Amino acid sequence: MKKSSAVIVLVLMIAAIIGLGYVDYAIVRDTMNTPGKGESIKLGLDLAGGVSITYQATGEEDPSVQDMADTIYKLQQRVTAYSTEAKVYQEGTRRINIEIPGVSDANKILEELGKPGSLYFIKQNGPDGSLNYQYDGVGYVLTKPLDQLREEGSIVCDGTNVISSEPATRTDTTTRQYVVNLTFDPEGTTAFGEATTEAYLNGATIGIYYDDQFVSVPRVNEPITGGQCEISGQESYEEAEQLASTIRIGGLTVELEELSSSVVGAQLGSQAIRTSFMAAGIGIILIIIFMIVVYWIPGVASSLGLILYTEIVIGLIKAFDITLTLPGIAGIILSIGMAVDANVIIFARMREETAKDLSVGTAMKNGYSKALSAIIDGNVTTLIAALILGIRGTGTVQGFAITLALGIIVSMFTALVITRLIMNAFYGAGIQNEKFYGRAKEIKSINIVGKRWIIIAISAILVLSAPVLMAVNQASIGHPLNFSLEFLGGTSTTADIGEDMTLDRIESEIQPLVSEITGDNAINISNVEGSKINIRTRALTLSEREALTDMLKNNFGAADTDIEMENISATISSEMQADAIWATIIALVCMLIYIWIRFRDVRFGAASVTALLHDAMVVIACYALTRISVGGTFIAAVLTIIGYSINATIVIFDRIRENLRIMGKAPLEEVVNTSVTQTLSRSVFTSLTTFITVLMLFILGVSNIRDFALPLMVGVVAGTYSSVFLAGNLWYMFRQIKGKAKEKAK
C-alpha cells in the first residue's frame, strides 16, 4: 500500500468511527434518557417495564391454524388499548404470548382479560318458562348450570359469533348515552334475531354472561334482526369501553388458560441500562489501554477496530429493530471482551514470525494466514452455543443469544477485515520498524503433560465439589440448587417497601400477613437488596395476587411501580428444566461432531467435550456454593462458558495439529507442552480482556446482572484453566490409550 493511500485509509477509518460514533451517541443517549422515543433501541419488558402473559389453549387437541390466528387478532385488538407497543404472538401450536410494555398492574389486566372464550348470550326464560337467571339483591346469578342451559337451547349464541364490539357515545336532544355496538356473524344474526323477537314480545331480557358472572343484562326494546345491536345503560364511556373489551375477549375462538405472567417495574430497567452502558464503556477503555500497552501499533489498530465493532453492533441492533433485554446487554458486554480474541491470536502469530527474522510485512501476512483456521473454528463452536440458546431458550435468554451471536459475527469481520486494513495502513504510512510490533520471546517449554496427574486430581476435586455442594443444599434448603420459579413454578413477588427489614421483622410483620392471604405457611421471604424484599409462594390465584399487592401497598407503602410479580405454572417450569438439559446435551454433541470433522480425529472432540463438562460442573458448583437463583439465565451462563472455553481449547488444538506436522517424530508429550506454551499468552490475555468486561458488569450491574456475571467470571477462570492445563492432557491420554491398545494387539 502506497503511503498516500495508507494515510487516506486511516483518515477514512477515523472518519467512519467518528461518524458512526455520533449516530450511536444519539442511540445510546435516547435509550438511557428517553427509552421508547427518539433514536432509542427497542427494549424488552425487563428493561422497559410492563406485563408479560403466556396463555395456552385448553383441551386435548391442538386448535386449528385459523382458530389461533383469529384468537391472536382479537387479543391484539384488546391489548392495544393498554399500549400501542403491545404485541401478541404465537409460540408452538397451543400457546400465545402477550407483551404489554409501560404498564404495571398485571392483576388488573389479567382480570380484564379473564378467561377468553367463555362469553354467552342467555335467554331470561327457559322453554318451560322457568327463569334461567335472577337478581339476588347484589347482582344477577344463574339458576341453572351452563350445561343444562345449553341442552335446553337457552344459550342464544356465544362470543365466537360476535364479529366486532366497539364503545360509542350517542347524544340525543337532552342527554348523552354511552353504548356498545355489536355486530354478529350470519349464524349469530339469525339466532339473535329470533331470540330478541321472542324477548321483545315477552318483555324479557337477554343476559351477557362472561367468566362466571353477568356483565350486562339489557332489556330488549325491539327485535334485532339485522345483525347489529346496541347495548345502552353504561354510566361512562370507560364503562362502555370495558364492556366492549370484555365481549371482544370473550368472543375468542379458542379458550385459553394462564400459564405464566410477570410484571416488571421500569425503574429496574432504567438503572440497568445506565449501569450496563457504563460497565461497557469502562470495559472498553480498560481493554484499549491493555491492548496498546501490550501490543503497541497492533494494539492501536485493534482498539480502533474494537470501537468500530461496538458502534456496528449498536447500529445493527437499532437498524434491525432487535429487542434489547437485560441478558442481551450482558451478551453485548461479554462479546466486547471476546472481540479482541481473534486479534490476540493474530498478533501472537505475528510476533512468532518476526522472531524468525522475517520482515514485519511478511510476519503480518503470515500471522493472519496461520491464525485463520483457529479463529474460524473457535468462533463457529461459540456460535453453536448461541444457536442452541436461541432455539431452546425463551424470552430474555433468546435476547442474550441474539446479541452474543451478532457480536461474534461482527467481531470476526472487524478482526479479519477492519483491523487488518488499519494494520496495513499503519505499515504503508511508514510505521514499519519491528519495535512497534514486537517479537516473540523465547519461552521455556512448560511441562504440562508431566504434571498431568496433579492436574487431573485438581480437576476431579473441582468437578466433585458440585455434587457435594448440591447434596448439602438438598439437606438444608430442600433443593440441590436455589431453583427460581422458572424451574419450580409458583409466584414470586418483589417489592420495594422503603426500609430495610431484619429477619425478625420479616417473620413477625410480613410473614403472618402473607400466610393469611395464601392460607399456608409454605412461603419464603428474603431481602433482595436495600429496601427490597422477595416473597416466594405456591402459584397464587388472581384474587390472591391482588390481595397480596393490596397488602404491600396498604401496610408497607409500596407503590404499583415498586411491585414486580411473576407467576409460573408447573407446566412451564418442567419444560424449562427439560430445555436446560437438552440444550446442554445438544450443544455438546454438535461441538463434538464439528471438531471431529474439522480435526479429523475424534479424540480432539472427546477431549474438548470432557473439558467442557469440567467447566460446566465448576459453574454449577458456583451456583450451588453461592446459592444464586437458578432460572432461565442459568443455561445461558453454562452454554456461554462452554462456547468460550471451546474457543480457547481449539486455539491450543489447532497448534497441536500444526506442530504434529512441523515437529515430525517428536514425542507427543513434547508436542503438547510446546503447543500449550506457544499459545499461553493468547490464553491469558484473552481471559483477561473477557474477565475485565464481565467484572465491570458485576461491579456496576443491577442485582439480576450480578447474579449472571459472577458465574461467568468463575466460568472464564475455569475455562482458561481447562484449556491450558486439562484439554491437552486429555488428548494426550486418549492418544496413549490407543497406542497401548496397538501394542497389546501385537
pLDDT tens by residue, 131-173? 999 999 889 999 999 889 999 999 999 888 888 888 899 887 6
Q: What is the pLDDT of residue 114?
A: 55
Q: What is the pLDDT of residue 743?
A: 41
Q: Give 398: exposed, middle or buried? Use CB within 10 Å, 0-12, 13-18, 19+.
A: buried
Written as one letter, the residue type at 647 is N
Taking 50 as the threshold, does the pLDDT of residue 745 lie above it? no
Beta carbons of 726 and 611 less than 8 angstroms apart: yes
**176: phi then psi, degrees, rounded to nearest 5:** -110, 130
- Any idea which of 42-46, 285-289, 710-714 has the lowest mean pLDDT? 42-46
pLDDT in tens, 491-515: 888 888 888 878 888 888 899 999 9
Q: What is the pLDDT of residue 259?
A: 85
pLDDT in tens, 592-606: 888 888 888 889 989
Taking 90 as the threshold, does the pLDDT of residue 420 lie above it? yes
All structural domains of the chain: 50-115 (3.30.70.3400), 119-251 (3.30.1360), 268-431 (1.20.1640.10), 449-468+576-745 (1.20.1640.10), 490-568 (3.30.70.600)
CB atoms within 10 A of CB 604: 24
- pLDDT above 90 covers a percentage of the chain that reads 39
Beta carbons of 693 and 279 less than 8 angstroms apart: yes
Taking 90 as the threshold, does the pLDDT of residue 454 lie above it? yes
Per-residue confidence band for 15, with pLDDT thresholds at 50, 70 and 90: very high
H helix intervals, 541-679: 542-556, 570-599, 602-626, 632-662, 668-678
Q: Copy the grid coordinates of residue 354.
A: 518476526
- Residue 507 DSSP one-character state: I
Per-residue confidence band for 737, with pLDDT thresholds at 50, 70 and 90: confident
Residue bearing the bigger pLDDT, 118 or 261:
261
Could you give the C-alpha distances from 686 to 340, 611, 636, in angstroms and in order? Answer: 7, 18, 20
- pLDDT above 70 covers a percentage of the chain that reads 95
Residue corresponding to grid cell 399500549: 83
Written as one letter, the residue type at 530 is G
Mean pLDDT, to the nearest integer, of 370-380? 89
Rounded distance between C-alpha atoms, residue 603 and residue 611, angstroms? 12
Q: Model-level pTM?
A: 0.75
Beta carbons of 534 and 526 less than 8 angstroms apart: yes
Beta carbons of 107 and 124 less than 8 angstroms apart: no
Rounded distance between C-alpha atoms, residue 326 and residue 338, angstroms? 19
Q: Give the contacts of 495 (CB within 8 A, at least 6 positions apart).
A: 532, 533, 535, 552, 556, 558, 562, 563, 564
Mean pLDDT, to the nearest integer, of 717-723? 95
Q: What is the pLDDT of residue 269?
A: 63
Q: Copy the grid coordinates of residue 501.
A: 427489614
Rounded distance between C-alpha atoms, residue 157 and residue 15, angstroms? 68
Mean pLDDT, to the nearest integer, of 371-376? 90
Q: What is the pLDDT of residue 394?
A: 64
Give, rounded to a whole angstrom, the gap between the first and last alpha carbons of the chain: 60
pLDDT in tens, 515-545: 999 888 778 888 877 788 889 888 888 888 8
Q: Copy the grid coordinates of residue 493.
A: 413477588
Q: What is the pLDDT of residue 436?
A: 93
Q: Give the contacts of 258 (CB within 8 A, at least 6 positions apart).
A: 53, 54, 55, 110, 567, 569
Q: What is the pLDDT of residue 413?
A: 92
Taking 90 as the threshold, does the pLDDT of residue 621 lie above it? yes
Mean pLDDT, to the nearest integer, of 538-562? 86
Rounded distance between C-alpha atoms, residue 644 and residue 378, angstroms? 8
Which of these, 578, 683, 707, lies nearest to 633 by C-alpha position? 707
Q: Return the H-helix or E-strand segment holding 682.
A: helix 680-700
Taking 80 as the threshold, does the pLDDT of residue 718 lie above it? yes
H helix intervals, 444-535: 452-477, 485-488, 503-505, 511-518
Q: Copy the grid coordinates of residue 96.
A: 400465545
Q: What is the pLDDT of residue 742?
A: 46
Taking 60 as the threshold, does the pLDDT of residue 221 lie above it? yes
Rounded distance between C-alpha atoms, residue 54 and residue 485, angstroms? 15
Taking 50 as the threshold, does the pLDDT of residue 22 lie above it? yes
| Residue spans of beta strands (DSSP E) within 504-574 | 524-527, 532-537, 563-568
Q: What angle (nearest 5°) sits at the alpha carbon of residue 216, between those of residues 213 and 220?
A: 135
Rounded distance between C-alpha atoms, residue 367 and residue 371, angstroms? 6
- Quick one: CA torsion of 500, 506, 512, 518, rounded to 10 degrees? 80
Taking 80 as the threshold, does the pLDDT of residue 689 lie above it? yes
Q: What angle (nearest 5°) sits at the alpha carbon of residue 579, between those of residues 576 and 584?
A: 135
Beta carbons of 156 and 210 less than 8 angstroms apart: no
Beta carbons of 597 and 542 less than 8 angstroms apart: no
Could you give the C-alpha distances from 347 to 411, 540, 721, in angstroms and in order? Answer: 15, 58, 22
Beta carbons of 732 and 449 less than 8 angstroms apart: yes
3-state secondary structure at position 565: strand
Rounded distance between C-alpha atoms, residue 516 and residue 533, angstroms? 18
Q: What is the pLDDT of residue 506?
A: 86
Q: What is the pLDDT of residue 566?
A: 84
Mean pLDDT, to the nearest integer, of 95-113? 77
Could you give the C-alpha distances from 293 to 31, 310, 437, in angstroms and in order? Answer: 33, 21, 11
Taking 90 as the threshold, does the pLDDT of residue 724 lie above it? yes
Beta bridge partners, 531, equal none
Q: What is the pLDDT of residue 115?
A: 57
Q: What is the pLDDT of residue 117?
A: 55
Written as one letter, the residue type at 65 is V
Taking 60 as the threshold, does the pLDDT of residue 744 lie above it? no
